[in-house]
């Protein structure tokens, strides 16, 4: 099986035979618990996700006002809005005591 490591090399114009110069690309294997620690990013933007979920739920509820005559669409819009708000509130509630 082929290796998954990144290796950048430059040959010396002899068809790949002879010495090979290894180029340092700065890429290092990241720790599994903080894969982007080198870039200063350690988690998801949870406040942004909660804000987007609330905006999306309000947008769905605003779509009730429209040019449709049936109420089946309204039920689907309300159900998806309630489901979105449920998962947003549940996520906030589960993470409320964690250090951020």
20 within some domain:
no
50 within some domain:
yes
37 within some domain:
no
Domain ranges, residue 55: 46-94
26 within some domain:
no
Is the pLDDT reported for residue 7 higher than 70? no
Q: Are 61 and 81 in contact (CB under 8 A)?
A: yes
- Which of helix, strand or coil describes residue 53? helix
18 within some domain:
no
- Which of helix, strand or coil describes residue 21? strand
For the whole prediction, is pTM greater than 0.85? no
Tally the domains of the chain. 1
Burial of residue 64 (CB within 10 Å: 0-12, 13-18, 19+) is: middle
User: Diameter of the chain by CA atoms?
Assistant: 77
38 within some domain:
no
* DSSP type of residue 95: T
At 21-80, the pLDDT tens digits run: 766 666 666 666 665 655 666 667 788 899 999 999 999 999 999 888 888 999 999 999
Spatial separation of the C-alpha atoms in residues 91 and 75, rounded to whole Å: 24
């Amino acid at each position: 099986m082929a290796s998954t490591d990144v290796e950048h090399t430059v040959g010396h114009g002899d068809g790949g035979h002879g010495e090979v110069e290894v180029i340092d690309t700065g890429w290092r294997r990241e720790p599994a618990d903080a894969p982007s620690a080198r870039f200063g990013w350690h988690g998801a933007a949870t406040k942004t996700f909660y804000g987007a979920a609330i905006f999306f739920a309000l947008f769905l509820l605003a779509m009730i006002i429209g040019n449709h005559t049936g109420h089946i669409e309204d039920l689907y819009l309300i159900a998806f809005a309630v489901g979105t708000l449920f998962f947003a509130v549940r996520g906030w509630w589960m993470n409320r005591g964690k250090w951020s």
